[in-house]
Every structure is written in C-alpha cells, then in structure tokens.
C-alpha cells in the first residue's frame, strides 16, 4: 500500500487533495487540528469512492504533538512508507501590522512555517532512506506579491516558498521533489465572507477557484512522472498575478 499525508486534510483544499490522492491509490493520512466532524466527513468521502484513510489529530505548529502523534504512527507502522507529503495546514489572522498582536503573528507563522518544518523533518527521514518522495507545499499568492493586512500570512507563505527552493536542492539527488502551489482565491471556509463579486474584476478568469482545481495540481506534482520538476512554485489564481 502507498501512503500519503495531507496536513489540514479535514476541510477545503486539504480535503480535495486527500480525495485526489486516494483516487491515485494512496492510503491517505488525514491530519486535522480540532474539527473531528469534518475530518470524519473527509474520510467518508474517501471511502465512498473506494479509497482508504486514517485520521491523525495533531497541531502541526506544536512540535510535541507532531512527535507524539505522527512520530508514534511512523514508529508503529514501520512497513508503511509515506511517499507523498502535502503541507497544507494553515490559518489566516488578517489585521494591519500596526494593530497586529504578537499572538496573531505567532499563530500564523506557527501553523504554516513551523508546521512545514516539524512535519517535513519527520517524514523526510524515510523518504531519504527509500530514495523517493514528493513534498508539496500549499502556499499563497499573498506569499509572492504580498497583501495588505496579511504581513503575518505573507511572511509565513513567503518563508515556505524559500524553504521549498532550499530543500529541493538538498534532496534532489534522492529522487525527492519539493514543490509549492500558490493559490489565489479558492472557495473554502478560509474565504467565506469575502465577496466574490467584489473581486471578479481583478481575476481574469472572473471567479474564485474550486478546491478540486488545486487538488488537480497536487496530483500532478505527486505523480512519479513529475520527477524532473522540483523547486517550482505553481500559481493557481485565475490569472491574478498582480
Ligand atoms: P480551511 O478551509 O480553513 O481549512 C484549513 C485546514 O487546516 C483545516 O483542515 C484545519 O483543521 C487545518 N489546520 C489549520 N491549522 C492547523 C494546525 N495548526 N494543525 C493542523 N491542521 C490545521 O483552509 P483552506 O482554504 O482549505 O486552506 C488550505 C491551505 O491553502 C492553507 O495553507 C491556506 O493558507 C492555503 N490557501 C488558501 C487559499 C484560499 O483562498 N482558500 C488561498 C491561498 C492559500 P480543522 O478542520 O481541524 O480546523
């Protein structure tokens, strides 16, 4: 059995990515932080399509929990090699920098940037041993061009983009690719409350994207055939580059 881990797999883009990877034959480890009902729904959706998965509850930004839950799963399943890792978990706490609280800065950096580090470091060990792996980091247009009210979020995503490029150079010789996907506006809980009509004129494709349209690219990078693509950042933003 092939294994894939999707962090923040309970809702939105992570859920769609999990379903996509299950379609590709992976047993999907669906990580979530707190929303067990939505995580179970993701698992049901995977199983309804004939796939399999396992729920893993931990906060990616808490290294103790990552070690305790993911580390324990890896130790208890020595024959199970996680060959695809999707670092998708993330939150936003939008506020202008001058009003931003230390907690808001820390929470966003923790989930995206520290979460990337804690989870990847652990999963990478077996990828290095097996000489194969696909690491896919979900970043954001905000991490490339910046967005007012999102200095914390842009810093976190920009950090992951830079880390993607460095790690790709560290592990390329072991057949491990590291790529990033930078979505624009995608219809999920994260963008709930943002008026799509108001932004349509700024988006050449004139609509928000669907989580499945991001998951399609996750499947592309996860494919064994994508082995010569690494350190890349793929924009999925309906043409909204600036
Ligand atoms: P979402 O619908 O709000 O879902 C977020 C997911 O991340 C949930 O599964 C949540 O788990 C999980 N999560 C959050 N913090 C976590 C933590 N510390 N540890 C473990 N899991 C955590 O968000 P989304 O829109 O699908 O976003 C997914 C990723 O895409 C994020 O990294 C986001 O920054 C990025 N992105 C989204 C958009 C967009 O327009 N939607 C655009 C660009 C980039 P619970 O269900 O347990 O809370």
- For the stretch 119-128, pLDDT in tens is 999 999 999 9
Which residues have C-beta within 8 Å of that of residue 18, sequence separation ≥ 6? 4, 6, 9, 28, 30, 42, 46, 53
What is the count of structural domains for the chain? 1
* Residue 159 located in a structural domain: yes
* Residue 241 located in a structural domain: no
> Ligand 1 center to residue 66 CA distance, Å?
17
> Ligand 1 center to residue 96 CA distance, Å?
21
* Residue 36 located in a structural domain: yes
Give the count of beta carbons closer than 10 Å to the beta carbon of residue 152.
23
* Residue 187 located in a structural domain: yes
Residue nearest to atom 39 of ligand 1 (CA): 186
Nearest to 116 by CA among 137, 93, 133, 91: 137
Q: What is the pLDDT of residue 241?
A: 82
* Residue 92 located in a structural domain: yes
What's the rounded Cα separation, in Å, for the pair 56 and 73? Answer: 9
> Ligand 1 center to residue 225 CA distance, Å?
27
Counting every residue, how long is the chain?
A: 242
State the closest ligand 1 atom to the C-alpha of 34, by its place in the atom list counted from 1.
Answer: 47
- To test ligand 1's pocket by mutation, which of 10, 28, 90, 110 has the most ligand atoms within 8 angstroms of CB? 90
> Which residues of the chain fall short of a pLDDT of 70?
242
> Ligand 1 center to residue 8 CA distance, Å?
6
What's the rounded Cα separation, in Å, for the pair 228 and 222? Answer: 12
Helices (H), the chain: 12-23, 36-48, 63-65, 72-76, 102-109, 115-130, 142-145, 151-171, 196-199, 211-222
Exactly one of 26, 32, 118, 153 is catalytic; which is it? 153
Ligand 1 site residues (CB inside 6 A) read 7-8, 10-14, 31-35, 38, 59-61, 88-91, 111-112, 115, 138, 140, 183, 185-186, 188-191
Q: Is 132 among the residues known to form the active site? A: no
Q: What is the pLDDT of residue 242?
A: 64
Full domain range(s) for residue 24:
2-236
* Residue 242 located in a structural domain: no
CATH of the domain at 196: 3.40.50.720
State the closest ligand 1 atom to the C-alpha of 187, by its place in the atom list counted from 1.
Answer: 41
In whole numbers, what is the pLDDT of the chain averaged over residues? 98
Residue nearest to atom 23 of ligand 1 (CA): 190
- For the stretch 182-229, pLDDT in tens is 999 999 999 999 999 999 999 999 999 999 999 999 999 999 999 999
* Residue 120 located in a structural domain: yes
């Amino acid at each position: 059995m092939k294994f894939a881990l999707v962090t923040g797999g309970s809702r939105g883009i992570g859920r769609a990515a999990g379903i996509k990877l299950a379609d590709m034959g992976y047993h999907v480890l669906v990580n979530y932080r707190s929303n067990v009902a939505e995580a179970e729904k993701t698992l049901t959706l995977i199983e309804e399509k004939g796939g399999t998965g396992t729920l893993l509850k931990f906060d990616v930004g808490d290294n103790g929990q990552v070690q305790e839950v993911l580390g324990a799963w890896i130790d208890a399943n020595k024959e199970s090699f996680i060959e695809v890792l999707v670092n998708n978990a993330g939150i936003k706490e939008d506020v202008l920098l001058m009003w931003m609280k230390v907690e808001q800065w820390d929470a966003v950096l923790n989930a995206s940037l520290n979460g990337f580090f804690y989870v990847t470091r652990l999963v990478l060990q077996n990828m290095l041993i097996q000489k194969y792996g696909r690491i896919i980091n979900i970043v954001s247009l905000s991490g490339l061009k910046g967005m007012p009210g999102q200095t914390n979020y842009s810093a976190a995503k920009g950090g992951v983009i830079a880390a993607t490029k460095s790690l790709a150079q560290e592990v390329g010789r072991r057949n491990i690719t590291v790529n990033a996907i930078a979505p624009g506006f995608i219809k999920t809980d994260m963008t709930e409350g943002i008026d799509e009509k108001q932004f349509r004129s700024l988006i050449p494709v004139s609509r928000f994207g669907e989580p499945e349209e991001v998951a399609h690219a996750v499947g592309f990078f996860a494919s064994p055939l994508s082995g010569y693509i690494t350190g890349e950042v793929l924009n999925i933003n309906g043409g909204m580059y600036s």
